Structure formats: structure tokens, C-alpha cells
Structure 1
Amino acid sequence: MVETASDETTLASLVACHGIILFTENYEACVEFYQTKLGLPFWYEKESLTCLRFGDGYLMIETEGVASKGRKTRSENPTALRFNVPDVPAAARLLEAQGISVEVNDYSWGTTGAFLDPDGNICSLKNADDPYFR
């Protein structure tokens, strides 16, 4: 890892708020999914976009994306939205009660739960007891 001097200005030191922009084909369904089913708080709305709070950043949902009938491949969408939670199986049960199918897997490095949004984008739960998240 490259270290920078503490008095050096970097792009990261200038960022006031970080965010993710998700381009969607099923715009209304994706807004409903992230806001209602996952519970991300509404922040603001403009023409063709809705912005939700996502931790200490935001998830901006916009139009003009491309949906998939199933899970998108990594070449179709090489990004997954990760939700670090204290208890993956409990969070999976909460989502499944809302009709969201979650595949829970245990690995040597932790537990994950994979699920899809209405456009086929991969979302993932991860156990937050990982020491890197403290």
C-alpha cells in the first residue's frame, strides 16, 4: 500500500460525501426495493433519479440502466452492493420475510448472504464482526 504524507492534499481528503450511482431499467421497482424492502431512508428526488441514504453516504438510483431476467454476470455488472450486518442469518430471515430470496454461505473468512434487486444486480450481506470493520 502506498502511504501519503499527512499534510498532502488528496482527492480523498476533499470528498465531502461518498456515494454510489445505480443505473436501472426498472427504476420504480428498484426505488421501492431499496427504500421499502431494504429500508434505506429517502434523501431527495429529482427528475429521473432518487437518492437514498446508504450508511454515511448515499445510493442514487437513476434511469437508463439495463436489467437482467436473472442474476447479472460480473461482466454485465462487476459491482455488488455490500451490507455489513451483525448477524447474516438473521438479516437473511428478515429479507426472506419480505419475499427476497437470500443464499447464505459460510467461508473461512466469514458469512455472506447474496440476493438480487429487481434489475438483477447482486447485493450481499456480510458479517460485520470482521476486525477490519471496527
Structure 2
Amino acid sequence: MDVERCGLILNVANFDACVSFYRTVFGLNELFSKVNGDFRLTCLEFGSAYLMIETGGVASAEEKTSAQSPTILRFNVADIQEAFDAIRKQDSKARLIRNDWGTIVRCTDPDGNPISIRESAGFVPS
């Protein structure tokens, strides 16, 4: 199989708020949008992949548990403090977590989907 591109589909309840969040906070550019009756989707660039945000999800006021959302979106950044300062404007519950393997910001999108932002320094893929 020759995979040409990969992506993630994220079903959300708060469609407009989630699209705005990923476009504004992470600067993801829109590839395209579609509407079919009550169904809506927006596809955003996600590095060399894509993040497709679609209606039909369930929101939570708190961070979703692993059972509610078994996937965590990960963004790597050069300046973790800058990322933390920026995300706190959107998510006052965001937290900076220092580990022996690196530092992350843990936050959520408007639907309560968990997000991890990691400093790129020290990240060595296997």
C-alpha cells in the first residue's frame, strides 16, 4: 500500500468554536469546508497530515477521560513557555507539566478533547 497522506477526524459538538480554536491557537490553515444538511466539516493542515473537524461529537465541560476520548492531539513547539502563555488565553485550566523526558502543556479544546503541546528540544523519534 502506498499511503499518500494521513489525517485525523475529530467529531465535535461545538463545531464553530473548535474550528476557530485550532485555526487561531495553532495557526492551522483551512484546506476546505463542506456542508451537507446538518453535517459540516472543515479540513485543516496538520503538519504533513490533516485534521478534519466534523459535526456529530459530544462535548464535555471538563477534559474528557480516556474512555470518552482515547486520542490526544500532540503539537511540538520550539518555545514551550510561549505556547503556555498563548494557550492560557483560550484555556484557563491549561497546565505546564515538567517531566524528566521533557515539558508539556496539557489543555483542552472547546469540546474537552485533550491536547498535549510538547517542547521540541529533547524530542528524539525512534
Moved over 3 A (4+): none
- Measured in 2, the distance between the counterparts of 1:32 and 1:56 equals 20
Give the SS at the match of 2:61. coil
Paired residue type of 1:78: P
| Alignment match of 2:5 (pick from 17, 41, 45) | 17
> In the alignment, which residue of structure 2 is the partner of 1:46?
34
Moved more, 65-74 or 33-42: 33-42
> In the alignment, which residue of structure 2 is the partner of 1:7?
none
Cα 1:25–1:108 shift into 2, 3 Å: same
Cα 1:131–1:44 shift into 2, 3 Å: same
| Alignment match of 2:67 (pick from 56, 62, 75) | 75
> Is 2:102 the partner of 1:114?
no
TM-score (norm 2): 0.89
**Structure 1: tracts of 5 or more residues without a match:** 1-10
- Measured in 2, the distance between the counterparts of 1:81 and 1:113 equals 12
Paired residue type of 2:23: Q
Give the SS at the match of 1:93. helix
Paired residue type of 2:83: A
Please say which structure displays the higher CA radius of gyration. 1
- Measured in 1, the distance between the counterparts of 2:3 and 2:122 equals 26
**Structure 2: tracts of 5 or more residues without a match:** none
> In the alignment, which residue of structure 1 is the partner of 2:90?
99
- Measured in 1, the distance between the counterparts of 2:74 and 2:121 equals 14
- Measured in 2, the distance between the counterparts of 1:99 and 1:84 equals 18
- Measured in 2, the distance between the counterparts of 1:65 and 1:131 equals 32
Asked whether the 8 Å contact 2:31–2:43 carries over to 1, the reply is yes
- Measured in 2, the distance between the counterparts of 1:36 and 1:19 equals 20
- In terms of fraction of residues, the more strand-rich structure is 2
> Is 2:20 the partner of 1:32?
yes
TM-score (norm 1): 0.84
